Structure 1
Amino acid sequence: MSGCLEGYNAILELLLAGIDQNDLLAKLREESSTQSSDLAELRPRIFHSTSNPTPIITMQNGKFSAAPAMAIKGGKVAAIGTYEAAKDAAGPLAEERDLQSQCIVPGFVEPHLHVILSAMLKGFFMNCDPLNPEINGKFESTIIFIRSKAKNVKQGEWLLGYNYDPSRLPPNTSTGKFQDLTLDIFAREDLNEHPIFIVNASGHLAYANQKAFDEAGIDNTTPDPAGGQYIKNKGNLTGVLLEPPSYEAFLTKALPADLMKVPTIVDGLHEVVKDWSEKGFTTVFDAGVGQTGPLDVSVLYALSLAAPLRIAGAAANLTKGAASNIVGNGSMPPDGATDLKIKTIKLWMDGSTQGFTAALETPYNRKMLPNYFRKEPNGWARWAVGSTCPISNAGSDDITEEMLAWATKGYQLMVHVNGDCAAEVVLDAFERIMAAVPPKPPIMHRLEHFTVTTLEQVQRAKKLNLGVSHTIGHVKYWGYTFRNYILSSDLEPDRADRIDPVKDDLDNELVYSFNSDSPVSQADALSYVGTAATRLMYNQDGQVLGPDQIVNVEAALAGVTINPAKQVMLDSEVGSLEKGKDANFVILAQDISSPAVNAKDIDSTWVEETWFKDVRRYARPSNV
């Protein structure tokens, strides 16, 4: 079984397979050079307010720490403090800006997403996410949406989609189970004129119609590929595909080598970082550089040269020693490996909670488990679990040995753990590693997602000085289905209430952050803040998931500024507004530190401007 996003990465490999890599990199560098020359000349500036005494929210030491004024000069913060101090630092020729009722916060830091994959999916696949306004969380609307897209498909072409997520749609009223897109459904809805292939949001599953099976040359007698499965019912194909190897025959037909053009890819990459800048991000961290090969490093570096934000990342280590293809076999260079200055190795212990592949101590709700997962009711693990987990479908390699090998070379470790069973294995590994190779500051090893967990595990993470990064969209967008379906259990009735336990993190003084894992969910820092400060579930009439885990707005804002900056080891440069740090900041429509703010109102529409290294890279159209 594969890990999170591997199905999508299989698609990405095919998308890029026919591309002239030198041509792609040359075009990216050309675009970067053109964009760099268009940037405004840096000039000293002073920001203050005549109506708000403290509009500069610095987030120094994880607190609002609001100040009256800020001066920026030469791409850096020149002063934080009084208006007079800012004026002295900026000089007599400084341009002044009266913020009035607005405020400034540090540029947001996204510590875990996937840049190239996000760009390619958004640019070339229809988005079947239940949150898509054209779908609006309804199965019937999903079918209407697919039909509307099929009308525009030319003869001989395929209709490709991603992010279909039955766990966020109402269960079938007759079976009580989540609804896969089966051959029967495609036939019933008269959707067989063109081949259709849609990937499930988890990446572990995909769906195809009869026309696609015919084009791929697969029928009831076709043997399953190694590592994949064409799901059958009583010997007949159902239309459901399990794991990326089962996608290959379809994608090879759907994505011929000459499909992608270099200008199209370059435009897609620039578009996705532009979108993130519009959400207030000034730093993003790619949590899987090299999943599709060494080309990732060159593409991301070339993109970063003129992107409206900083791009850093971790080398992907999907299998034993795999990251050496990206960073080499030796010790970490003092400034990091490759042009991206990589200092982090990413490992995956388990899969996706909503995809039934996170490794859990207590089984998933068996009533909701699809038949093809019934043999593994506790999920899956990539590495050996020994007697720690009740999981038979686990790898044989020892993750402790692998982590130790990379830690010994001087790298930071970030490990994907969605389930409490996966967390237990990895915490045991970190105990051994910390004893053998105590990390040297600023290295702080990380637990990624840390979704289904216990208070004891939070406390162990603190004792080991680990950082934790939650995909907080699990609370907002999957909270209802976790509580009522996927994680509901007589043995642990409050298990879903504890997902992404930010208040426990705060009480135990962990360094926590929030991420999107884009394309799993949308990168939107202010949505993370609002979710952490309310635990409201999407479209559930004000229902709250786990009110005991709510934190205040100040603590939530730390999760998108200074805390993730510490986790990606860039807090000496970004994450807070302090003298000498990069002039990366966001202007918000209103003062987020005001006691009058209702956390449920906080969202991305508050972003008025995004500044990166002293240059305004985004302004809401009404502000230009």
Structure 2
Amino acid sequence: MVSSQRNRSKEKAEKTSNIQYSTTSFLPPTQSATNFKPRVTLTLFLFALFSAGALYLRYSYFVSKKEAYAVCSRGDRKGIYTVDANNSQVECMVVRGVRVQDTGSLSDVRARWNGPLLDVKYLQENEIVIPGISDSHCHILEYGGSQTIDLVAGRTMKHTLEILADYINSHPKIKNDRSKIIEGWGYDHASWDVPVLPTAADFDTNPTTRGRQIILRGRDGHTVWVSPITLAKNAPYPTETIEGGVIIRDRNGAPTGVFLDKAMEFIKPAVLTDEDLRERFQLTVDHALRSGLTSLHDAGAGPESMKFFLTEQSRGILPLRIYGMRHFLPEADAPYWGNTSTPLVAKLRGDNTGSRLSGRSVKLFADGALRSGGAALNEPYSDNPSTRGFMRIDLELLRRVVPDFLRDGWQVNIHAIGDRANGIILDTFTHAQEALGHNIRELRPRIEHAQVLTKPDMKRLGDLGGAISDMWYAQDRLGPERVKGLYAFRSILDASARITLGSDFPVDEINPLAGFFAAITRVDRDGSSPHGPGGWFPDQVLTRLEALRGMTIDPAFASFTEKDLGSLEHGKRADFVILSKDIMDPQVSPQEILHTKVRATVIDGRAAYGSII
């Protein structure tokens, strides 16, 4: 047996180890925009003096049940998917401390690890182990806030208000304090029986919501719908056109109560306390861990979020890994900050501390969202020919700051939905590479969403996130031809791009297995799609292996952590998930995947959810 003091010494030693960062990237060497083909290179690891096998033999003598354990399938079944370069499946995996130390057959690992002393934990029949799952695009604190009121369930405007009223009536402190600002997230006018934007006056149709300060954010996060009293308290509003946003107005020019994108800044939200933020964070963490998520790429890490994450880190080790994308706000009071070192904007690499909080990326917004009509398209919307959406950032500013951030060593992640926005961003990355005079591949610039693409731009794409919840209304918005470029997974992969799968929660659900299901089937949960049970553009489906890599090793690559996370290989962090069914087995139907349970979520070798059997 090993003393607790020895364990603490081991953990301290782990925390002082350096994380190495690869110099591979999504982008190729400088070339013309039309030949912009992202490539992936393979890093070779060389070990001096000792082979890996010799290391295992040298230290196996000292192994005890306290120090190491093995997770193994029964009966020669290879139920551990390592997601290494060869996509190997193995029977057993040995974990010592916070890292994976060995993989192979049970007989081999026992021979290398003093078999009688090795603590073997057997999987149940049909269970498998996969690397810890990453959500490559999500909003952590926003998700926690969205869970207070289930507005997504609203099927009509009236039903949505009834859900809100039930929430108010079930919370006496809110019900009895009519001065309190009530906030919610998730209403979806596009899914209502009459898919039109609501108005402030609609709140007065329900006796409980009438006369209250209410701010509801749309499901896509790019709209807010406010009550009459909130509309009045935030007045006056500008009458001129807003660059990068829209105030919806009636025929007389008066605001109706709905604000899009940058226009949302005219509505002041409620001030959140530390207790509010901590409650939201814990709710997200609980849902993430029970869903098998070990790493989250927070795509909304503004100053408030980053300050909170830093504070939580100072209180102790974070319950899961966070890769934060810092917002760049192009207003006059937010000048370029990429060359500063203040805590809220400093690069966090987690090099020497074993920190679970890292971030070396900046997040910019190119356009709005498809659901609310703000995505920047090359041609007008099919269901609203008066507009083709809008860009949220000045193009000259974009061309200036992107090279600056890249020059200062930042990964640049840009939100782009429409085909016009995506084309502009790819042009911007090409311009940046030419301006810097060297290959920017090592900084792995990303396009967040890359939702609607032209065929030429599919060949230039470097990263993709998202799901297919938009399929039911997308053709109305885009028309029968342009919709073919929406979430064209297969075409993007065939163009040598690298795909990561992110839910964008709370825009979509937090369950990564639902995203896995969607990627390999392109149908809804009930097996339906606009093109029938065969799938929505079925030629764009991913294989199970591609989907698995898209939520494990590829997000690790996208966050510069592929040498430490994303696969179950010797020396990597022991982040893994035990699933109740083998989702990789073709004999397991897609519908069975939706009913697969997460038995355990393990981070640094310890169960953060469930238990290691």
TM-score of the aligned structures, taking structure 1 as reference length: 0.76
Distance 1:318 1:275 in 2: 30
Of 382, 393, 397, the residue aligned with 2:392 is: 382
Q: 1:533 to 1:440 in 2, by over 3 A?
A: same
1:298 and 2:321 matched: no
1:184-333 to 2 correspondences below 5 Å:
184-190=201-207, 191-213=209-231, 216=233, 227=242, 229=247, 231-234=249-252, 238-243=256-261, 248=266, 251=269, 255=270, 260-292=272-304, 295-296=307-308, 298-299=310-311, 301-302=313-314, 305-319=316-330, 321-324=335-338, 327=341
1:479 and 2:467 matched: no
Distance 1:521 1:52 in 2: 38
Distance 1:325 1:139 in 2: 47
Give the match for residue 55 of structure 1. Answer: 79
Distance 1:278 1:326 in 2: 38
Q: Which amino acid aligns with 1:114?
A: H
Give the match for residue 142 of structure 1. Answer: 160
In structure 2, runs of 5+ residues without a counterpart are 1-14, 16-64
1:361 and 2:348 matched: no
Q: 1:192 to 1:264 in 2, by over 3 A?
A: closer
1:206 aligned counterpart, secondary structure? strand
TM-score of the aligned structures, taking structure 2 as reference length: 0.77
Q: CA deviation at 1:421?
A: 0.9
Count the aligned residue pairs.
528
2:82 aligned counterpart, secondary structure? coil
Give the match for residue 188 of structure 2. Answer: 165
Q: 1:235 to 1:560 in 2, by over 3 A?
A: closer
Q: CA deviation at 1:570?
A: 0.5
Distance 1:306 1:97 in 2: 26
What percent of counterpart residues are identical?
22
Deviations 1:281-334 (A, max 9, x none): 11112224334476255236347x433321222322232744439756999798
Q: CA deviation at 1:516?
A: 1.9
Distance 2:182 2:395 in 1: 38
Task: Report if aligned partners of 1:45, 1:72 keep a CA contact under 8 Å in 2.
Answer: yes
Q: Which amino acid aligns with 1:584?
A: D
Task: Report if aligned partners of 1:79, 1:579 keep a CA contact under 8 Å in 2.
Answer: yes
Of 607, 611, 619, the residue aligned with 2:602 is: 611
Q: 1:324 to 1:58 in 2, by over 3 A?
A: same
Q: 1:575 to 1:247 in 2, by over 3 A?
A: closer
2:470 aligned counterpart, secondary structure? helix
Q: Which amino acid aligns with 2:142?
A: L
In structure 1, runs of 5+ residues without a counterpart are 1-35, 173-177, 384-394
Distance 1:334 1:104 in 2: 28
Give the match for residue 101 of structure 1. Answer: 126
Q: CA deviation at 1:154?
A: 1.9
Q: Which amino acid aligns with 2:404?
A: A
Distance 1:143 1:455 in 2: 42
Task: Report if aligned partners of 2:134, 2:295 keep a CA contact under 8 Å in 1.
Answer: yes
Give the match for residue 498 of structure 2. Answer: 511
Task: Report if aligned partners of 2:143, 2:505 keep a CA contact under 8 Å in 1.
Answer: yes
Give the match for residue 11 of structure 1. Answer: none
Give the match for residue 86 of structure 1. Answer: 109
Q: CA deviation at 1:616?
A: 0.7
Distance 2:571 2:112 in 1: 12
Deviations 1:182-223 (A, max 9, x none): 244333444415343322234443223345446x275xx976
2:412 aligned counterpart, secondary structure? strand
Q: 1:308 to 1:183 in 2, by over 3 A?
A: closer
Give the match for residue 469 of structure 1. Answer: 464
Q: Which amino acid aligns with 1:266?
A: R
RMSD of the alignment, in Å? Answer: 3.3
